[in-house]
Amino acid sequence: LQAGLRALPDDLPVVVLAADLPRAAALVDTLLSAPLGGGARVLTDETGRAHWTSALLSPDAARTVRDLLDLADASLHSVFAHLDVTLAPAPVGATHDLDTPDDLRTLQEDRP
């Protein structure tokens, strides 16, 4: 995350998404749907669990992460601990990721 932020302009908000989220468009729509202060918005699943890989960082929050010292091997949870985080619910099922062939089959079966 830090390396990616260092490669981007420092005056824009940044969407953080995992690469294995087939419903990413719904997550982005939700992340961008409300005004963002100076912190970060992190989406939660239907159980209330935060998904650190479904987030929006304000320009200030992105600068904070960019400027943190050595983050090698740091968890995203520990990185977000440095930020003012607002949790917001994701659309039902939108945070489900694809880790196995069974996950893909389930996704395909759920499509109308």
Structural domains of the chain, ranges and CATH numbers in brackets: 2-110 (3.90.550.10)
Predicted local confidence at residue 83, as pLDDT: 95
User: If you average pLDDT over every residue of the chain, what do you get?
Assistant: 89
CB distance 41 to 90 below 8 Å: no
Per-residue pLDDT at 21? 86
pLDDT tens digits, 20-66: 888 889 999 999 998 888 899 999 999 999 999 999 999 999 999 99
Higher pLDDT, 97 or 76: 76
Q: Is the pLDDT of residue 93 over 90?
A: no
Residue 111 has pLDDT above 70, yes or no: no
77-83 long-range contacts (CB < 8 A, ≥24 apart) are: 77/50, 77/52, 79/1, 79/2, 79/52, 80/40, 80/42, 80/52, 80/55, 83/39, 83/40, 83/57
Q: For residue 72, what pLDDT is reported?
A: 80
